[in-house]
Amino acid sequence: MAELARERGVSHYHLTTLARGWDLAIRSTEHRYNAIGHLDLTWNLSPAMQAVTSSPTALDRLRTLVQIPGHTSIAAAARAIYDGRDGALRQRITKIEKIAGFQIIDRSASLLAPTEPGGAFLREATEILRIAEKAIPSKTAPSLSEDTDILETGRRGPQGQHRQ
């Protein structure tokens, strides 16, 4: 699918959306789910990233992980990014690290920081998230015409009566 998308000059996400709209079955050649398979990545994923992204919650996992470094503790990170549920955040980090096969976050420093392999993993995660952000159109963003209306009139949508 990715090769066809590149050949046609469209995003993998767009082509997949069209195929699903036409009720075409789309299956991974590996017969397992990959939450980032629709992204047009220009590199081969690291083995750890392949393992972590074989889940429907992969992008959410990555979004959570990249926000953790720099906090003073898991509890502080949980308050900032995980609704204060530090036990749930600890479990999530531990599960991801187990799947990756190494410790990603060094919890012994005064500020949470990535381990050496964790740093490479988080850089790869950040790049995947950047590409994912570009590939998935926002469903809540106003249309260009709405933006133009706001700029011109300060209000959304058509103004006044329509004349023929």
* CATH code, 56: 1.10.10.10
The answer to whether residues 115 and 106 touch, using CB atoms and an 8 Å cutoff, is: yes
Residue 142 lies in a domain: no
pLDDT above 90 covers a percentage of the chain that reads 30
Is-above-0.75 flag for pTM? no
Number of domains composing the chain: 1
Residue 58 lies in a domain: yes
Residue 78 lies in a domain: yes
Report how far apart, in Å, the C-alpha atoms of 16 and of each of 19, 58, 122 are: 5, 18, 27
**Would you call 138 exposed, middle or buried from its count of C-beta atoms within 10 A (0-12, 13-18, 19+)?**
exposed
| Residues of the domain holding 76 | 2-137
Q: What is the mean pLDDT of residues 54-72?
A: 88
Residue 157 lies in a domain: no
pLDDT above 70 covers a percentage of the chain that reads 71
Residue 31 binned pLDDT confidence (cut-offs 50, 70, 90): very low
Cite the beta strand spans of 65-162 per DSSP E.
Answer: 105-106, 113-114
Q: How far apart are the first and last CA of the chain?
A: 48
The answer to whether residues 56 and 35 touch, using CB atoms and an 8 Å cutoff, is: yes
Cα separation, 94 vs 104, whole angstroms: 9
What pLDDT shows up at residue 110? 87
Cα separation, 96 vs 118, whole angstroms: 11
Residue 72 binned pLDDT confidence (cut-offs 50, 70, 90): very high
